[in-house]
């Protein structure tokens, strides 16, 4: 039996590359090992997060009070695991509403269900601030990062996602929002229903999307276009899907998802187009090594500086 401490370290995202390989080799070497792995994983899959005390996954059997919000992960493929490394909740008092916040660590995803039944998937390094109970006329949440919303329909209570650039207002629909603070890009993609994009500065609507449309900001301008490839939203399954994507844009995603600074010294690589799929659980080193086979570049990694330099 694999050391449980190592398993929980892996679930918590604290293993090194050598330890991850050791665990993968063990799980794949024997069906009984894989079943043992799945058994331990199920203990991690569904967690009730305590908002009053810090959650410690290594203190098994500890009884704590729990909140009404479920946080859990899912599995996309054999080892494309979606685990929540940690949940960090903060509370702040506002009139008639108690607010909570969840942050998703690098390389992970999380799913939560809000008070109204709305389902939200959060991508790596994303933060969602939301009320424990919706009590006002509008259902308002605040997002920094990327999230997929499946909004419970309520025509009397619009659902509003506030980001650092624009607000997205809906009644009931499924849509994806990409809006990391400190980065230039903003994008909203509508799968079904209808969404309205509002400017919080001018307090006016700036665009309305129809199903299978996306809006993104380029050089300070908002442009509407058709959704060309729904695979982009498979990040919920732990996949990074590329479809003729510029290498420079891909590297920005890697930097965001894995929380590491990446410098491209070889400028000839910037406009190289990439197509394919990666599992986030494989890590940034694996993805770069796959790309190396086709693009012929080298790179160095400095863990102390948390930096990758591509030559």
3-state secondary structure of 193: coil
Q: What percent of the chain has pLDDT over 70?
A: 77
Beta strands in 171-238 (DSSP E): 174-179, 187-192, 195-199, 204-209, 213-218, 221-226
The overall pTM is greater than 0.85: no
CATH code of the region 238-310: 3.55.50.30
Cα(100)–Cα(92) distance, integer angstroms: 7
On the question of pLDDT at 66 being above 60, the answer is no
Structure tokens at 301: 């990694």
DSSP string for 32-43: HHHHHHHHHHHH
Query: Which residue carries 């160095």 as its tokens?
Result: 300
Phi, psi of 163 (to 5 degrees): -120, 180
On the question of pLDDT at 57 being above 70, the answer is no
Q: Which stretch, 100-114, 186-200, 245-259, has highest mean pLDDT?
A: 186-200
Residue 72's pLDDT is 34
pLDDT tier, 212 (very low <50, low <70, confident <90, very high otherwise):
very high
On the question of pLDDT at 151 being above 60, the answer is yes
**How confident is the model over 267-274, as a mean pLDDT?**
87
Query: Which residue carries 């406009």 as its tokens?
Result: 271
Assign a CATH topology to domain 82-230. Answer: Jelly Rolls (2.60.120)
Secondary structure letter of residue 291 according to DSSP: H
155, 124 Cβ separation under 8 angstroms: no
User: Mean pLDDT for the chain?
Assistant: 77
Beta strands in 15-158 (DSSP E): 46-48, 70-72, 91-94, 97-103, 110-113, 119-122, 127-131, 139-150
Q: What is the pLDDT of residues 3-32, one digit of tens each?
A: 767 776 776 666 777 777 787 778 777 777
β-bridge mates for residue 146, sequence order: 178
User: Which sequence spans correspond to the domains of the chain?
Assistant: 82-230, 238-310
Cα(123)–Cα(145) distance, integer angstroms: 7
pLDDT tier, 96 (very low <50, low <70, confident <90, very high otherwise):
low
Cα(158)–Cα(136) distance, integer angstroms: 10
pLDDT tier, 249 (very low <50, low <70, confident <90, very high otherwise):
confident
Query: Which residue carries 């006329």 as its tokens?
Result: 137
List, in order, residues 6 or more apart from 48 with CB less than 8 Å away: 66, 67, 70, 71
pLDDT tier, 97 (very low <50, low <70, confident <90, very high otherwise):
low
Cα(255)–Cα(277) distance, integer angstroms: 17
Range in 56-70, 121-135, 156-170 the model is least confident about: 56-70
- Neighbour-count burial of 82, counting CB atoms closer than 10 A to its CB (0-12 exposed, 13-18 middle, 19+ buried): buried
């Amino acid at each position: 039996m694999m050391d449980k401490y190592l398993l929980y370290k892996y679930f918590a995202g604290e293993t090194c590359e050598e330890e991850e390989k050791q665990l993968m080799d063990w799980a794949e070497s024997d069906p009984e090992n894989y079943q043992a792995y799945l058994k331990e994983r199920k203990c991690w899959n569904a967690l009730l997060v305590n908002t009053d005390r810090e959650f410690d996954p290594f203190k098994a059997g500890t009884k704590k009070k729990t909140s009404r919000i479920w946080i859990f992960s899912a599995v996309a493929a054999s080892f494309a695991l979606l685990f929540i490394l940690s949940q960090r909740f903060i509370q702040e008092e506002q009139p008639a509403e108690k607010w909570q916040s969840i942050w998703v660590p690098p390389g992970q995803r999380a799913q939560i269900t809000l008070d109204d039944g709305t389902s939200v998937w959060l991508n790596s390094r994303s933060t969602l601030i939301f009320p424990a109970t919706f009590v006002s006329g509008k259902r308002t949440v605040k997002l920094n990062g990327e999230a997929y919303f499946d909004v419970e329909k309520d025509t009397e209570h619009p659902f509003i996602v506030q980001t650092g650039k624009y607000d997205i207002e809906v009644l009931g629909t499924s849509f994806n929002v990409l809006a990391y603070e400190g980065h230039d890009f903003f994008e909203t993609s509508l799968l079904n229903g209808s969404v309205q994009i509002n400017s919080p500065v001018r307090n006016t609507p700036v665009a309305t999307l129809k199903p299978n449309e996306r809006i993104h900001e380029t050089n300070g301008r908002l442009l509407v276009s058709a959704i060309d490839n729904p695979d982009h939203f498979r990040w919920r399954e732990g996949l990074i899907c590329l479809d003729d994507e510029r290498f420079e844009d891909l590297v920005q995603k890697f930097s965001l998802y894995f929380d590491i600074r990446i410098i491209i010294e070889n400028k000839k690589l910037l406009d190289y187009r990439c197509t394919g799929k990666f599992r986030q659980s494989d890590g940034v080193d694996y993805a770069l090594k796959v790309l190396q086979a086709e693009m012929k570049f080298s790179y160095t990694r400095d863990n102390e500086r948390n930096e990758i330099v591509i030559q």
